[in-house]
Amino acid sequence: MSTKFANPAPLGLMGFGMTTILLNIHNAGYFPIDSMILAMGIFYGGIGQVIVGMMCFMRGDTFGTTAFTSYGLFWLTLVGLILMPNMGVAASPAHFMGWYLTLWGTFTAFMFVGSLRYPRAKQFVFASLTVLFFLLAVRDFTGNELIGTIAGFEGIICGASAIYFAMAQVLNAEYGRTILPVGELTQVKADIKPLQVEAEPVTLHSVNA
């Protein structure tokens, strides 16, 4: 008897999208970091995405496992970077945070390349997230508040795109038809035939000694 697993991706995308929007409302300058953002980062964006990553692992989904587990741990490390200075651990200088965000941007750029075989909505999530990480890195390297504000608005768009993609998967699956389009790609399967080597007939000739 086979066990059918549910699609965990919408859960992970919602955890990512909602937490990303809240953090980037802060980055856009509307309110300071508070317990609400930290709680979302720990539980929904952090632990929630790690759980989704493990569910993807059970389904044999390498891309989903790598993405959701990594971004879940990103949120947990980010919360740690915010809270640890209050526990006596030295805070990271701004330019160190720039390198931290650059590494995450590089990782996300590779994930974007991997997303190119998936629907356009998924591609947009990874493309906008790549831009977000690099904008935040530039902000921390330069100390430019305007870039940070721009990154905040861009991050809100990124988070909203993740929520859209999550709800599209849920509604389209529930109704069995396209309620929210995601830009499905037309899969063109190449007719690849195995290499065939035609062997010439072998004729046995008698050899006179």
> Is 171 within the bounds of a domain?
yes
Band the pLDDT of 149: cuts 50, 70, 90. Answer: very high
Highest mean pLDDT among 16-30, 78-92, 175-189: 16-30
> Is 129 within the bounds of a domain?
yes
How far apart are alpha carbons 170 and 111 in whole angstroms?
23
pLDDT for residue 2 is more than 80: no
> Is 109 within the bounds of a domain?
yes
How far apart are alpha carbons 125 and 65 in whole angstroms?
16
> Is 36 within the bounds of a domain?
yes
pLDDT of residue 201: 45
Q: In 3D, which of 103, 110, 112, 152 has the Cα closest to residue 132?
A: 152
Taking all residues of the chain, what is their mean pLDDT, rounded to a whole number? 90
Q: In 3D, which of 125, 126, 101 has the Cα closest to residue 112?
A: 126
> Is 199 within the bounds of a domain?
no
Residue 53 belongs to domain spanning = 9-175
Percent of the chain at pLDDT exceeding 70: 88
Give tens-digit pLDDT for 160-170.
Answer: 999 999 999 99
Average pLDDT over residues 137-143: 97
pTM of the full predicted structure?
0.86
> Is 186 within the bounds of a domain?
no
Lowest-confidence range among 36-50, 67-81, 188-202? 188-202
Q: How far is CA 14 from CA 51, 137, 146, 163, in A?
A: 13, 24, 28, 5
> Is 134 within the bounds of a domain?
yes
pLDDT for residue 108 is more than 80: yes
Instruction: Between 132 and 195, name the one with better pLDDT.
Output: 132
DSSP state of 60: T
Average pLDDT over residues 88-108: 94
Band the pLDDT of 189: cuts 50, 70, 90. Answer: very low
Q: Into how many domains does the chain fold?
A: 1
> Is 75 within the bounds of a domain?
yes
Here the CATH number for the domain that contains residue 144 is 1.25.40
Lowest-confidence range among 40-44, 153-157, 165-169, 198-202? 198-202
Please compute Rg for the chain using Cα positions: 24
Give tens-digit pLDDT for 52-97.
Answer: 999 999 999 999 999 999 999 999 999 999 999 999 998 888 889 9
